[in-house]
Amino acid sequence: MKKLYSILFKNDDLGNRARDLYFRTNDNLAVTYFNDKIIIPETISVHFNTYFNSFSLDRWKKYTNLSSLFLVIEIEGSFTITIKNRYLSGEDIVERMISTINLEKTNRREFTFEIENINSYEGMIYFEISSNEGKTILHNAYYGTKTEKKEKEISIALVMCTFKREIYVERMLNKFEEERLDNSYKMFVIDNGKTLNYENKENVFFFKNKNYGGAGGFTRGIIEAQRFNEKHSKKISHILLMDDDILFDFRVLERLKSFLELKKDEYNNYFVAGSMCSLDHPEIQYESYASWRGRNFIAFKHNFNLFDEKAILMNEKEEKYSNGTAGWWFSCFSINMVNSNNYPFPCFFRGDDVEFTIRNNSNIINLNGLNVWHEPFYKKYSIVSENYYLLRNMLVVNSLYMKTGLKMDLKNITSKFIRSIMHLNYNSAKLVIRAVEDFLKGVEFFEKTNPEELNGELMKYNPKMGFIWDLLEEYKLDDIYESTSPANADKNVISKFFRLLTLNGLLLPKVFYKEFGIALNGFAGIPFNFYKTKRVFVYDKFSQKGYFVDVNKKEAFKLIFKFIGICGKYILHYKKINKNYQENFYKLQNIEFWEKYLEI
């Protein structure tokens, strides 16, 4: 019997607030988890039709050589075990009974149940346990298989890139060591900040690296995994790229490894992408993966509540969009995919994962139970990240792979610039212009620019923020939230058109302006809160910090004229610069470039 993956009872880091990701019960107070086992009182049931413990039958049947499926349970007591199948028919959940087993006064022992004719089922397989007399104790359980096909030999290099975030690194290392994984798992920690004081240990390796962003750090990790293979007979077969600031349950690696061991050969060059879930609300899946549309991302399975069985079943449904991207918070792929001319894009960060996934055909597999918990993007907003790195790098991606054309690019550039002007954020507007200028320099810019020095220069554009209680003499949070809510913005069509026509009041005399206003920072900010206002306090409700912006018509018009000039240059050189990237991008992809770039 080959073990596919264990049934997980609990995540100690998340506690009871995430319990329904693991099991459900008809009495939350009665069922207890103690000493790694679930204790089920008489008449109480537990159900495993959950995100982590249901079996994703469709994915395993399609992508692997799975030919049989077993449920193995170690249990004691008097109980009924019911094995069920559920799937979606349209939007309706359909249930099929597979088998029911009644056992009385059983001492602790292991039972094996075969789910026969698995090809006749779709959706999820799961089980329920009902305690009939006295208490029932579930010690452990797992899904298994008996396969005639030879399994692949899988060894996974977990590559984590970090910059001066020792607390996160220590947490990840402790979790890795606590799990006592076998020698088929290696961890490569790339220290871009050169501040970690760890020695290499069994299966954990540390490398000090230039601070060339996530792109530089993850690429260094890939190179070191390849160098490991050159020196050892037991080869690494797969790379798993992971952020350092995630909450990750290392137990799910068992599921990933089993999936890779049984994966059909025709899917060898597919990415396995882990979903991103919210640290604030562990049951909320922010996205399973995404697709770049030339101007914006479409997130798949966005904001799914994974406590909801229907959402889990919707996760089982595959969707198809071109230019999919497997985010590098959890992206697993074959080490053979990265040959000597297929290394990532040296773009510092924001878009390296997008370009690499699209370049390698955007074939992505997503499985229920493979995920990380991460702070939502909207809590990490930065004008440098959004209006320089993301804009510049996605213009490169568009030039290489997209057919959206000049008009789409200009819409994207212009919307970011106008939003910056309307929000009185002139540094943000400067970053938009700088992003286009640097993009127009072509591949040579990425070859010759020192990204660490550039990033140091760009970071000066980010506003200096202070706590609201230090910057405002009086404030009432309820009033701030109410006044900045989009629901309270003037939605009159004529008023909106007038605001746009006057560039949010920029073209109006200051005599019509009010003295002070408050707006929200980042994606939550709306132009209405900056309209005809001399000074605005821009507030970030997550950090409780903010900063002031002031209307400066002279600066605004100066930037507008400069922007018109750079757009003219962009239009004039559009075909030439696209050709430059298409014909020369290979210079950034090869091992010779990267070894020289990182000086390794």
Which CATH number do you get for residue 290? 3.90.550.60
Interatomic CA distance for residues 62 and 58, integer angstroms: 6
Residue 580 belongs to some domain of the structure = no
Q: Using one digit for the tens of pLDDT, what is the confidence trace for 210-220?
A: 999 999 999 99
Please give the pLDDT value at position 489.
81
The pLDDT of residue 29 is above 90: no
Q: Are 64 and 154 in contact (CB under 8 A)?
A: no
C-alpha dihedral, 334 to 340 to 343 to 347, nearest 10°: 170
97 plus 136 within the same structural domain: yes
Please give the pLDDT value at position 492.
86
402 plus 367 within the same structural domain: no
Tokens 């996605």 -> residue = 394
Please name which of 25, 54, 52, 51 lies closest in space to residue 38, comparing C-alpha atoms: 25
Please give the pLDDT value at position 490.
80
pLDDT above 90 covers a percentage of the chain that reads 89
Q: Using one digit for the tens of pLDDT, what is the confidence trace for 197-212?
A: 999 999 999 999 999 9
101 plus 244 within the same structural domain: no
Pairing of strands 290-292, 297-299: antiparallel
Please name which of 7, 9, 59 lies closest in space to residue 259, comparing C-alpha atoms: 59
Q: Where are the alpha helices (DSSP H) in 157-308?
A: 166-178, 213-231, 253-262
Please give the pLDDT value at position 422.
97
Structure tokens at 552: 């400066």
218 plus 178 within the same structural domain: yes
Interatomic CA distance for residues 577 and 585, integer angstroms: 11
Please give the pLDDT value at position 351.
95
Please name which of 398, 396, 404 lies closest in space to residue 442, comparing C-alpha atoms: 396
Domain boundary among 379, 408, 443: 379
pLDDT above 70 covers a percentage of the chain that reads 100
Interatomic CA distance for residues 540 and 550, integer angstroms: 17
Please name which of 594, 156, 151 lies closest in space to residue 334, comparing C-alpha atoms: 156
Q: Are 197 and 438 in contact (CB under 8 A)?
A: no
Integer CA distances (angstroms), 431 to 6, 412, 557, 572, in order: 49, 14, 16, 21
| 331 band by pLDDT with thresholds 50, 70 and 90 | very high
Residue 592 belongs to some domain of the structure = no
Burial status of residue 166 (CB atoms within 10 A of its CB: 0-12, 13-18, 19 or more): middle
Structure tokens at 328: 């590098």
Q: Are 433 and 559 in contact (CB under 8 A)?
A: yes
206 phi and psi angles, rounded to 5 deg: -115, 140
Please give the pLDDT value at position 376.
82
Q: Using one digit for the tens of pLDDT, what is the confidence trace for 289-323?
A: 999 999 999 999 999 999 999 999 999 999 888 99
Please name which of 57, 63, 29, 33 lies closest in space to residue 44, comparing C-alpha atoms: 29
Please give the pLDDT value at position 26.
87
Tokens 């350092």 -> residue = 244
392 plus 494 within the same structural domain: yes
The pLDDT of residue 149 is above 80: no
Q: Using one digit for the tens of pLDDT, what is the confidence trace for 249-258?
A: 999 999 999 9
Please give the pLDDT value at position 415.
96
The pLDDT of residue 236 is above 80: yes
8 plus 82 within the same structural domain: yes
| Residue 459 CB-half CA count within 13 A | 6
User: How many structural domains does the chain have?
Assistant: 3
525 plus 408 within the same structural domain: yes
Domain boundary among 328, 359, 379: 379
| Residue 97 CB-half CA count within 13 A | 5
The three-point CA angle 218-223-227 to 5° equals 145
Average pLDDT over residues 122-131: 97
Average pLDDT over residues 323-332: 96
Please name which of 555, 572, 325 lies closest in space to residue 436, comparing C-alpha atoms: 572
490 plus 547 within the same structural domain: yes
Q: Are 513 and 533 in contact (CB under 8 A)?
A: yes
Q: Are 595 and 210 in contact (CB under 8 A)?
A: no
Domain boundary among 379, 394, 415: 379
Please give the pLDDT value at position 124.
97
402 plus 273 within the same structural domain: no
Residue 589 belongs to some domain of the structure = no
Please give the pLDDT value at position 379.
87
Structure tokens at 531: 């309209």
Please give the pLDDT value at position 348.
97
Please give the pLDDT value at position 277.
97
Residue 372 belongs to some domain of the structure = yes
What CATH number is given to the structural domain containing 55? 2.60.120
Please give the pLDDT value at position 134.
92
What residues make up the domain containing 216?
A: 156-379
301 plus 254 within the same structural domain: yes
401 plus 450 within the same structural domain: yes
Residue 591 belongs to some domain of the structure = no
Please give the pLDDT value at position 403.
86
Could you tell me which residues are beta bridge partners of residue 549? Answer: 536
Residue 574 belongs to some domain of the structure = no
Q: How many CB atoms lie within 10 A of CB 385?
A: 17
Please give the pLDDT value at position 226.
98
Please give the pLDDT value at position 368.
97
The pLDDT of residue 285 is above 80: yes
442 plus 506 within the same structural domain: yes
Interatomic CA distance for residues 161 and 240, integer angstroms: 11
Please give the pLDDT value at position 559.
98
Residue 121 belongs to some domain of the structure = yes
Interatomic CA distance for residues 600 and 595, integer angstroms: 5
The pLDDT of residue 453 is above 90: yes
- DSSP annotation of 172: H
% helix / strand / coil in the chain, to the nearest 5?
40, 30, 30
Residue 582 belongs to some domain of the structure = no
Structure tokens at 75: 């249990």
Q: CB within 8 A of 68, min separation 6: which ones? A: 114, 118, 145, 146, 147
Please give the pLDDT value at position 399.
97
| 488 band by pLDDT with thresholds 50, 70 and 90 | confident
Q: Using one digit for the tens of pLDDT, what is the confidence trace for 371-398?
A: 999 988 888 899 999 999 999 999 999 9
| 486 band by pLDDT with thresholds 50, 70 and 90 | confident
Q: Using one digit for the tens of pLDDT, what is the confidence trace for 47-91?
A: 999 999 999 999 999 999 999 999 999 999 999 999 999 999 999
Helices 405-422/391-401 angle, 10° precision: 170
Integer CA distances (angstroms), 331 to 48, 205, 355, 443, in order: 27, 20, 13, 26
End-to-end, the C-alpha distance of the chain in Å comes to 45
Element (H, E) at 97: strand 92-115
Structure tokens at 17: 């607030």
| 329 band by pLDDT with thresholds 50, 70 and 90 | very high
Interatomic CA distance for residues 596 and 587, integer angstroms: 12
Structure tokens at 408: 């789409």
What does pLDDT average to over the chain?
Answer: 95
Interatomic CA distance for residues 186 and 193, integer angstroms: 21
